[in-house]
Structure 1
Amino acid sequence: MTDVEVLKRRIIREIDSRKQELIELCSSLIRIPSENPPGDSTEISRFIAGYLKQFGFQVDFYEPKERMYNLVAGYGRDEGKHLILCGHTDVVPAGDPFKWNFPPFSGEVKDGWILGRGASDMKGGLSGIIFAVSLLKRLNLELPGKITLAIVPDEETGGKYGVPFLLENGIIHGDGCLIAEPSSPLNPTIGQKGAFWFKLTVFGEPGHGSLSPVAGRNAIADAIKAIAKIQELWELPIPVPDEVKPIIARTKRYMKEVEKLDENYQKVLERITVNVGTISGGTKSNVIPESCTVEVDCRLPFGITHEKVAEHLHRELDGLGIRYQMETFGFRGNANFTPPDDPVCRAVIRNISSVTGEEAYGVLQWASSDARHFRAHRIPVLQYGPAHLPSIHGYNEKVAVEDVLRCAKVYALAAIDFLFSSSR
């Protein structure tokens, strides 16, 4: 019978003694550009496969779209519990290199920080799960279950070629999943708001600009009326289900104590947020515009579905007497969560507290992620990863060395606890 606590202490010592290897792995991943778009993961996928193969892993490649590679590698046995550790290789574009204080794909380690695009989102976490699983294998541990690494290429654009492809084709499955997405050091994400992205095209009647508003019909003016109705979604009262009220309360505490956000920000947990992200219309100033198109990102709280939001918007827009067409694109899904007492949540939260010596608890995320796909396939999931949150998707992105080290420890210890636990 394995003494789990003795084993976990051994793992901590091994990770500390191999710290430099972990740092170099993270730096190496950052030095490989993997911006999405365009979404070419060839180089970074080959590097990761080479790293894993040197320790005896079989790595399977899946290419649902040209140059977008999913990597799947496992360790353990099919009997017993099955844990998925997931991460994505793609990063958002670096943007103007002259606005960075260092080369965007530097990977340099300086003053306790690892520097470069993707350091926090999410090559710090990606290096942590790869390192943790490879270390467990190198220690020749006989696991009572199995760990699967699922490394995907298509998260930053919300695409279908990563996690959705693997799940829908039955390539991966599990009793629990940990995604190494950026999070607060003590607060893994156990739930997300829903998302409803849509494009609204408003139609008018062209004419000479000198005769407006007498002649024709101005599509931009009608679109402005529509936008006003769309923005009223923020004021729509949403009944919060009782089952999520305790998690919302903890998340408000987190927003106040950790994020230092005032009560105004806390409202986003229980309301529909509305961002009119793009608008385009007309041909020139002296022509009455025939059409105008706006793209909108709404994030949905628990208590309402994207179907209900669409129905509400159609009623409101129909009442304006305008001609329009509404179609969805990108993210679409309802708010979702994993109960904090689920075994995978307990294993991760317990070991965050163990490694840090501080209280840890799960919170809701006011954005969306690949976690929704796992929950749609009835796989309990949460997110936890190293990050300097203010730098994500911005210039001068970085991650603290000690955060990467801490998360790698949590990944390895949580995997041990989860797999050796008898509860399913």
Structure 2
Amino acid sequence: MGDIRWESRLLETMEARASEAAELAAEVTRTSREAPAELAGFAARYLERCGLFPFAHNAGARHVNVLARYDGVRHEGGAAPIPPRERHLVLCGHGGVVRPDDAACLAGALWAAALAARLRVPISGPLTVLLVSGENAGLGVPWVLDRDLIEGPTAAVVAAPSGRAHPAVAQLGRCQFEVRVAARSDGADGAGADAADGDSGIPAGIPAPAGADSVIVKAAAAVLALRRIAEMKAEVPRELADLVEASTRALTGGDGRPAVEFDHVSVNIGTIQGGSAIGTVPQRCVIGVDCGLPFGIDTGPVLGQAHQLLAEAGIQAQVVERGSGAPASLTPASDPIVRSLLGAVREVVDPRAHGVLHPSSGDARWFRERGIPAVQYGSSGQTKNRKTADPTEAAKVYALTVLRYLRTD
């Protein structure tokens, strides 16, 4: 446990000044809607006003990552080197366009760090606040970690929706790809000379020839074939059986049926793009596919299955992987960051709270891939008293987690 006196003081201060968190969440929401590119600057200015010294790092393509470090005392300039094996916690939020629940998580993280600095809360190791952008482009967390912009991180809390009483201690993997279907192709991969973008040139209003090769019909058949990727099943590892069962119960939908099944690949046909007008015959159609991967199935077999299913359906197409695929990942329940955060959630939110395997694949995986234990936490969905997540509640959880993980006793 952390210093009980400081825990009580911080929680009492947050309760008395809860309006600050609500106002900050409203500002985050407004900024992300009106000028999402300015959210990093907004966060940096806020942290600076609160006595921290943020640094903005331009990752390119209009993506800016902001870091600010708190060592338990106010300081200027570069921080002192971190002694070996000292704990160093990263509290990570995501910028850009955010939903109200995301805004509550981000505001809660910023406010928790700001109050710790204002009150000069003693901690035994550094706390780094990280606001990242460019998650899908790899210009956020991986960009920061691969450049050693955070010295010696030992754990991370990702401030993003997971479930009010359900921290995400594990997450499904991710495989995203495009299927490019062409009207005619010189090769088996659908990338022949006739696979260029555009339409056939048949004027609008003139019916296509009876024998015209319809790329849209081919794409429709491809969608039906690709949905069978969901038949790929994996045996749940014995050591994860309890976690999977608890997660299935926690994520049950309103109709009483599981909202997510964790023993097979999930398939979402996210986009279908083809043609430029109703009266033209398109030459090409691109299907965007997003797959959630259970433990035991990686991206390679999924891409291979996509090729096989398309071939069996007689569809010549090109399968192109998009984004950064990743296998399912886990931070063990015995890890100090899991114990610290889960204890905080049980105290602030619900004594029955437990960790879950979450269907999303967010920033926590980048930390885990580099051997840094990570947990995602944030309220999501409505409660009986609120339409959106409570930033004060989130901040209390983050603050207690910081105090307990970076304990001084």
TM range (shorter): 0.7 to 0.9
How big is the shift at 1:170?
1.4
Structure 1 CA distance for aligned equivalents of residues 338 and 243 of structure 2: 13
Residue 226 (1) aligns with residue 222 (2): yes
Structure 2 CA distance for aligned equivalents of residues 357 and 290 of structure 1: 56
2:164 pairs, out of 185, 191, 205, with 185
CA change 1:341–1:281 in 2 (3 A) is same
CA change 1:18–1:199 in 2 (3 A) is same
Indicate if the aligned counterparts of 2:122 and 2:408 stay in contact, CA closer than 8 A: no
Aligned AA (1:263): R
How big is the shift at 1:289?
5.2
Indicate if the aligned counterparts of 2:165 and 2:350 stay in contact, CA closer than 8 A: no
SS in structure 2 of the partner of residue 239 of structure 1: coil
How big is the shift at 1:287?
7.3
SS in structure 1 of the partner of residue 365 of structure 2: helix
Spell out, residue by residue over 1:7-52, the C-alpha distance to the aligned partner (whole angstroms, 9 max, x if none): 21222122223222222222222232356xx8523xx333322222
How big is the shift at 1:264?
4.9
Structure 2 CA distance for aligned equivalents of residues 13 and 210 of structure 1: 72
Structure 2 CA distance for aligned equivalents of residues 352 and 285 of structure 1: 53
Structure 2 CA distance for aligned equivalents of residues 358 and 372 of structure 1: 27
Equivalent position of 1:160 in the other structure: 138
SS in structure 1 of the partner of residue 112 of structure 2: helix
What pairs with 1:138-149 in structure 2 (closer than 5 Å)? 138-149=118-129
Spell out, residue by residue over 1:89-121, the C-alpha distance to the aligned partner (whole angstroms, 9 max, x if none): 2125xxxxxxxxxxxxxxxxxxxxxxxxx3212
Q: How many matched pairs?
A: 376
Aligned AA (2:216): I
CA change 1:356–1:289 in 2 (3 A) is closer
What pairs with 1:136-285 in structure 2 (closer than 5 Å)? 136-155=116-135, 158-172=136-150, 173-205=152-184, 212=210, 215=211, 217-256=213-252, 259-260=253-254, 262-267=256-261, 269-281=262-274
SS in structure 2 of the partner of residue 399 of structure 1: coil
Please give the root-mean-square deviation of Cα atoms over the aligned residues, in Å. 2.8
Equivalent position of 1:21 in the other structure: 20
What pairs with 1:305-384 in structure 2 (closer than 5 Å)? 305-330=298-323, 332-356=325-349, 358-384=351-377
Aligned AA (2:37): D
Structure 2 CA distance for aligned equivalents of residues 278 and 129 of structure 1: 33
TM-score, structure 2 as length reference: 0.83
Indicate if the aligned counterparts of 2:2 and 2:405 stay in contact, CA closer than 8 A: no
Structure 1 CA distance for aligned equivalents of residues 382 and 362 of structure 2: 16
SS in structure 1 of the partner of residue 122 of structure 2: coil
Structure 1 CA distance for aligned equivalents of residues 61 and 217 of structure 2: 42
Structure 2 CA distance for aligned equivalents of residues 50 and 174 of structure 1: 24
Stretch deviating more after TM superposition (247-256 or 44-53): 44-53
Structure 2 CA distance for aligned equivalents of residues 261 and 346 of structure 1: 32
CA change 1:385–1:287 in 2 (3 A) is closer
CA change 1:28–1:284 in 2 (3 A) is closer
1:304 pairs, out of 273, 297, 308, with 297
Spell out, residue by residue over 1:156-186, the C-alpha distance to the aligned partner (whole angstroms, 9 max, x if none): xx22222121112111251111111023221
SS in structure 1 of the partner of residue 40 of structure 2: helix
Unmatched tracts of structure 2, length 5 or more: 72-79, 185-199
Equivalent position of 1:70 in the other structure: 65
How big is the shift at 1:284?
7.2
CA change 1:15–1:410 in 2 (3 A) is same
Equivalent position of 2:89 in the other structure: 83
Using the aligned pairs only, state the percent identity. 30
CA change 1:137–1:226 in 2 (3 A) is same
Structure 2 CA distance for aligned equivalents of residues 148 and 22 of structure 1: 20
Unmatched tracts of structure 1, length 5 or more: 93-117, 391-396
